[in-house]
Amino acid sequence: KLLFPPGSAWFYSDAGPNWLAECLTYVYRRDLNEVMFERVFTPIGITAKDIRWRKHAYRPELIDGIKRREFGSGFSGNAQAMARIGLLYLRDGWWQGEAILPHSFIEQARQPGPELSGLPMHEGDPHGTGAPAHYGLMWWNNADGTLAQVPRDAYWSWGLFDSLIVVIPSLDIVVARAGKSWAREANADHYAVLKPFLEPIAQAMIHEPQQGHVIPPSPVIQGIAWAPKETIIREAKGSDNWPLTWGDDDALYLAYGDGNGFKPFVPHKLSMGLAKVTGALPDIHGVNLDSPSAEALGDGKKGRKASGILMVEGVLYLWVRNVGNSQLGWSADHGAAWTWTNWKFSESFGCPAFVNYGKNYADARDDFIYVHSHDANSAYDRGDRMVLARVPKAKVRERAAYEFYQGVQANGQPQWGHDIGARAGIFTNPGNCYRSQMTYNATLKRYLWCQIGRGHDTRFAGGFAIYDAPEPWGPWTTVFTAEPWDVGPGESCSLPTKWMSADGKTLHLVFSGDDCFSVRRGVLTLK
């Protein structure tokens, strides 16, 4: 019986999965047991001894002469089979180099669909009013933070007798649990029974000092070979930061912090100054720009600092942090005079940066400008995830025009919305998301994302990583990671598109290591 128009309410029921099973039986014209073993089970090492289908509890045994199966409570699996399913999801659908499930399918399990999370509960559903906000594609999740001591990227299948397959990507954890049902307290929240089980597991890993989040390797890039550290170019000693963009006049425009810029040094130490770099490597020349309406004084948190810069159609745009939280400025005369918005990001986006696309934004994917940040109110607080916004190029100065990434839709496409409170993460790494810069390698058609790791003073020693993805929202995989790197990675870093070779393989990292404008060559090996 149809209880309500599809898409108008939320109701937990086995009927939907069972309808799906019958539809697939008609499509394949085969017993779904054969299909599942052929497509999923056998490739990941599950055998006929590991699972058992039950006799159909509601309908005749055959459908057009073919065995009828149930997806809703239709079969039992042992803990080893459950763990293998969990590992398949943890690895984004990959198993020993073979893609078993598409990433877009798994994304729908990890978080509630934006179009479903706000639906009302159908009368009589026992799962509580919050269920639509933490239920994905057949999997429960913690995307809304209901389990405060468990990472938000955790998600789990939840079967009879509290059988669980738990996946926590940020902690590289899969947990399979089978046994008797747990006792419940009357009128307790639906998730309350999970807390004594999931919270100690998560906290044990979060508090383990050697534990690092494992992000799968890149399917495109094998690795990167760095030039010897003795070959690093170091200029502008005493200055750090260095977000940059490729201008229409072929110069790199950049900002520096807590220093005097390039020689000849400016007379006063600036918390934010502007400069440009011309020439071809290794014969480059840096010059400070006279820009009174952008320059600022003050050390550390006390002074305004640049976090991202971009040139689009001859106009420079600059994100400034340490202003509670961040503010946008623009210059139509190559950095001499600046105008500032009368609004700020005051929720999250404490260290925003632009996604850079080639000279003067020439390689842009569409007519939007993209902005990313770690999900924190300050550039000095590490976050658990990275977030993403976009805005039409023609409306970059209008706060109301900004949209925020809210997850993946059922069709695999990103969901965008104007409510910043509904933002979702594009990258998760608890306690390790920090200052970063993203650029697009047009030849390889990959986004490259440089991120600073941990360290007491990363100007001189600390961790560093590069991740890649086919889209700005992911899925992100690992190109290079080091804890620590062989030199100090600085407090920020980027891979300027101007200094990428025509074949996309040779790159040059700009970073603030040793409190300088530092440049180091790297060569990618492709798979």
* Top-confidence residue, 384 or 370: 370
Confidence of residue 402 (pLDDT cuts 50, 70, 90): very high
Which own/partner pairs from 470-473 qualify as long-range (CB within 8 Å, at least 24 positions apart)? 470/445, 470/446, 471/414, 471/447, 472/355, 472/370, 472/372, 472/388, 472/426, 472/438, 472/447, 473/388, 473/405, 473/408, 473/414, 473/426
pLDDT at 195 over 90: yes
Alpha-carbon distance 410 to 419, whole Å? 20
Of 341, 328, 334, the closest CA to residue 316 belongs to 334
What pLDDT shows up at residue 209?
Answer: 41
Residues 6+ positions from 144 with CB-CB distance below 8 Å: 112, 130, 133, 134, 152
59 CA to centre of own chain: 43
- What pLDDT sits at residue 497? 96
- Residue 198 confidence (pLDDT): 95
Strand blocks (E) in 57-214: 62-63, 66-67, 75-77, 94-95, 98-99, 140-141, 155-159, 163-168, 173-177
Which pLDDT tens digit goes with each residue over 48-80?
A: 999 999 998 889 999 999 999 999 888 899 999
Q: Which two tokens stand for residue 477?
A: 């995989």
Q: What is the mean pLDDT of residues 226-251?
A: 95
Judge whether 475 and 482 are in contact, CB under 8 Å. no
Residue 526's H or E segment, with its range, is: strand 517-526
316: left (phi over 0), alpha (psi -120 to 50) or beta: beta
SS3 40: helix
DSSP 8-state class, residue 463: -
Which range has the worst mean pLDDT, 365-379, 471-485, 492-506? 471-485
Burial (CB count <10 Å: 0-12, 13-18, 19+), residue 86: buried
Q: Which amino acid is at 254?
A: L
Give per-residue burial for 410-435: e unless 16+ CB within 10 Å, then b. Answer: eeeebbbeeebeebbbbbbbbebbbb
- Amino acid in position 319: W
Task: State the average pLDDT over residues 307-330.
Answer: 96
pLDDT-wise least confident of 51-60, 161-170, 180-189, 408-417 = 408-417
Residue 30 has pLDDT above 90, yes or no: yes
Beta-strand ranges (E) seen in 7-117 are 51-53, 62-63, 66-67, 75-77, 94-95, 98-99
Q: What percent of the chain lies above the pLDDT cut of 90?
A: 69
In the prediction, which pLDDT does 210 show?
Answer: 36
Is the per-residue pLDDT at 208 higher than 60? no
pLDDT for 206 equals 61
Per-residue pLDDT reduced to its tens digit, 105-141: 888 888 887 777 778 888 877 787 788 888 988 899 9
Statement: residue 85 has pLDDT above 50: yes
Helices (H) and strands (E) in the chain, counts: 5, 33
